[in-house]
Structure 1
Amino acid sequence: MNGENKNVVCFGEILWDMLPSGKKPGGAPMNVAYHLNRLGIQSTIISRIGDDEAGRELSSFLDNIGLSTENIQIDSDHETSKVIACIGADNEVLYEIIAPVAWDFIQYEERFATLLQAADVLVYGSLIARNEASRDTLLSLLGKARYRLFDVNLRAPHYTPAVVDQLMQAADAIKLNIHELVAVSGWLGNRSGDEYAGIGLLQDYYGIQEIIVTKGSQGASYYTPNSRHDYPAVSVDVKDTVGSGDSFLAAFLAQKLRGETSDNMLEFATTLGAYVTTQSGACPPYSRMDLNRFMWEKYLESIQWKQ
């Protein structure tokens, strides 16, 4: 496959990340759609914003970057989402996710089903399922998608094991970080916290064909029933880690849709995720030339280190 005419639908939250440096557009599904769009893959967002100034600003941002707002509902009763993000030790991001907000109330529309039937991939997360209204809409749409990629993205206290289990049951592929792997496999009995034992449990219990695990400074791994691929982390001076996992997922998926090898998928995803940590916010502007320059610089650094 090449990337031409490939289409991804991202379902879930869009919001303003209120960072110490100021507010930035965010929300994992929107971040994934943003980076897919940057990488030349057509992407669409299904979400909901408030009938307020914050919502109009988000809509204007999407228009300016070429992402359609056609499938973003307007809510006259609930505000556009804002998330208070604080940068903690080791550049860890801590979130205060306010509830309820507009994206908690995404309503089912028949046109969404039509949209999904024409799409190659549906990307969805667990945060959007915290409220029954949006959760019911998502569950109605999962059966209409051709390929379902679950970005686990656990944010306490906005999930329950039972809901995550529902979303895992529907997934063809999942992406999660190492801490989420330990948590989810622990619910299935993996008390050791061992990565490989956890992967085996998820594969056996859910029958998931593809599992992507991000591990911070330890890089990332990609598992299928018959293979495992690893890629080391890229060393950078971190500005913040907001949205780095989302950019990783978008880069991985873009390469997958273009028919790249597993190693190339991991390499490009790890590189883009690292690049985003050197910028402010989840959706920094960049071109493919910027990425190529970054990759070349990191390659030269690795050569110098080996010498």
Structure 2
Amino acid sequence: MIQKKHASDLSTKPKASKHTIALFGEMLADIFPDRAVLGGAPYNVANHLQAFGQHPVLITRTGNDPLRDEFLADMARLGMDDSGVQCDQIRPTGQVIVHMDENNHRFEILPEQAYDHIHSGVVHLVTMAMQPDMVYYGTLAQRGVESRLALDTFLSDTKSPRFLDINLRHPWYDKHIIRRSLLRANIVKINEEELKLIAGLLKLTGFSAKDHGLSLIAKFDLTCLIVTCGSDGAWMLSKEGKEARVSGFNLNGSLVDTVGAGDGFAAVCILGILENWLPEVMLTRASVFAAALCGIRGAVPNSSDFYLPFLEGEAYGKPTE
């Protein structure tokens, strides 16, 4: 999948062709006491891909409400394609209520939201019209029956590589959703805690994380598995058992929050796979970008200037020892 012949060196500017990436899933807003923050993993990933000069198309559903207007206005500002954004006349645009107290906050992902009812017929028309170079999906939007059927249509309508970003959100997943997601995937991104949880649920063989990764690849015939380890870096296993690994990157005391870091990591991995970067190059660039996101508030930067060092290749340094 990731070939050496087109690999970029870390010291050079990452030049990318323009690819169409279809992203299926939730569009939702985090509702704080004083504001609403637009997001959802597919939306965050699409934001980054747009900034990297790609053509992301979100396959999602919103309510007919002010939050939909905010999302569409934000997409228009960024120049994003909104042809895959459906409108539901009954259910609201996805919301996550943020409950705050003196010490921390708790997220309540509300049920029966518009993204639980993505219409498969509309998905078919949009997907067939664009013929994407890669498709992206997760697990949260599969909690609703209609959206599960729409995802089946989405994945059946294209032969493109399938990038699964597990993103488990309690209590909105079960063994069935995890299994059906993996059966449809080629490339899987997962964090080390999720890998450990899935190893128990699916009774993967072995004792180490690498053993579990190899077992997961064999069990579901994956092309590769990408595992993030927070500040400890990331690693990847290919179908042939080849391993690539990078250590963590020094934030130099600039940690603000980790919201959306995994989405940024996924966006760079998608770009790297489409551009055939070497595994080590891809993991390094994805880790540097995710670390930079940890230095800002929220999942997506407010200004496109944030992306310039990455577009020019100036942001990539060496992993910490």
Secondary structure (helix, strand or coil) at the match of 1:295 reads coil
How far is 1:256 from its partner?
A: 2.0
Q: CA deviation at 1:191?
A: 7.9
CA displacement at 1:55 relative to structure 2: 1.2
Q: Which TM-score applies when normalising by structure 2?
A: 0.86
Q: Which residue of 1 aligns with 2:68?
A: 55
For residues 183 and 92 of structure 1, the distance between their equivalents in structure 2, rounded to whole angstroms, comes to 24
1:211 corresponds to which residue?
225
| Higher relative helix content | 1
Matched ranges for 1:240-255 at <5 A = 240-255=257-272
- The structural deviation recorded for 1:235 is 2.1
User: What amino acid is the match of 2:215?
Assistant: L
Residue in 2 that maps onto 1:64: 77
**Equivalent residue for 1:164, pick from 162, 165, 178:** 178
Counterparts in 2 of 1:81 and 1:52: CA distance versus 1, 3 Å: same
SS in 1 for 2:119: coil
2:250 pairs, out of 226, 235, 246, with 235
In the alignment, the residues of structure 2 paired with residue 205 and residue 92 of structure 1 have an alpha-carbon distance, to the nearest angstrom, of 39
Aligned residues: 299
How far did residue 112 of structure 1 move? 2.7
Look up the SS of the partner of 1:203 in the other structure: helix
**Could you tell me which of 84, 95, 100 is aligned with 1:82?**
95
- Counterpart selection for 1:97 from 100, 109, 113: 109
- After superposition, the Cα gap between the structure-2 partners of 1:224 and 1:293, relative to the gap in structure 1 and judged at 3 Å, is closer
Gaps in structure 1 of 5+ consecutive residues: none
1:264 paired to 2:281: yes
Root mean square deviation of aligned Cα: 2.6
The residue identity in structure 2 corresponding to 1:295 is: A
Aligned-residue offset at 1:92? 9.4
Give runs of aligned pairs for residues 117-196 of structure 1, distance below 5 A.
118-145=131-158, 146-190=160-204, 194-196=208-210
Uncovered stretches (5+) of structure 2, i.e. residues with no partner: 1-5, 7-14
Distance 1:233 1:19 in 2: 31
Partner of 2:119: 107
Residue 19 (structure 1) shift: 4.9
Instruction: Quote how far apart the aligned CAs of 1:21 are.
Output: 7.7
* Distance change >3 Å, CA 193–CA 282, structure 1 → 2: farther
Residue 283 (structure 2) pairs with residue 295 (structure 1) = no
Query: What is the DSSP-based 3-state SS (H/G/I as helix, E as strand, rest coil) of the residue aligned with 2:315?
Result: helix
Q: Select the structure with the greater relative contact order (CA < 8 A; seq sep ≥ 6).
A: 2
Normalising to structure 1: TM-score of the pair? 0.89
Give, in whole Å, the separation in 2 of the partners of 1:293 and 1:120: 24
Q: Is the Cα contact below 8 Å between 1:24 and 1:282 reproduced in 2?
A: no
Amino acid at match of 1:98: L
Per-residue CA shift, 1:56-94, capped at 9, x if unaligned?
111111111111212101111011112134799xx9985
SS in 1 for 2:250: coil
